Amino acid sequence: MANKKVVNVIRHLAFEDLGSFAPVLQAKNIEINYIEAADFALKPDELSQVDALSDELLVILGGPISVNDGEMFPFLGAELDLLKQRIAADRPTLGICLGAQLIAAALGATVYSGNTKEIGWYPLDLTEAGKSSPLRYLGSEHCSMLHWHGETFDLPDGAVLLASTERYENQAFRYGKNILALQFHPEITQRGMEKWFIGHIGEIMQTEGISVMQLRKDTQQFANQLEMQGELFFNSWFNEVV
Whether residue 10 is contained in a domain is answered as yes
> Residue 144's domain is classified under what CATH number?
3.40.50.880
Q: What is the pLDDT of residue 47?
A: 77
Tens digit of pLDDT for each residue in 175-196? 999 999 999 999 999 999 999 9
Q: Is residue 186 part of a domain?
A: yes
pTM of this prediction?
A: 0.96
As beta bridge partners, residue 125 has 164
Residues of the chain with pLDDT under 50: 1
Number of domains in the chain: 1
Tens digits of residue pLDDT in 16-32? 999 999 999 999 999 99
In a domain, 1, yes or no: no
Give the range of the structural domain holding residue 58, as residue numbers without chain letter. 6-241
**The predicted structure's pLDDT at residue 1:** 44
Identify the pLDDT of residue 163: 98
Q: Give pLDDT, residue 2.
A: 57
Please report, for residues 101, 102, 154, 155, 157, the alpha-carbon distance to residue 109 in angstroms, rounded to integers and kept in the order given. Answer: 9, 9, 6, 7, 8
Contacting residues for 61 by C-beta, under 8 A, at least 6 apart? 9, 10, 11, 12, 13, 16, 17, 18, 96, 97, 98, 99
What DSSP string describes 8-37?
A: EEEESSTTS--TTHHHHHHHTT-EEEEEEG
The amino acid that residue 165 corresponds to is T
Q: Is residue 190 part of a domain?
A: yes
159 domain-assigned:
yes
Look at residue 183 and tell me if it is in a domain: yes
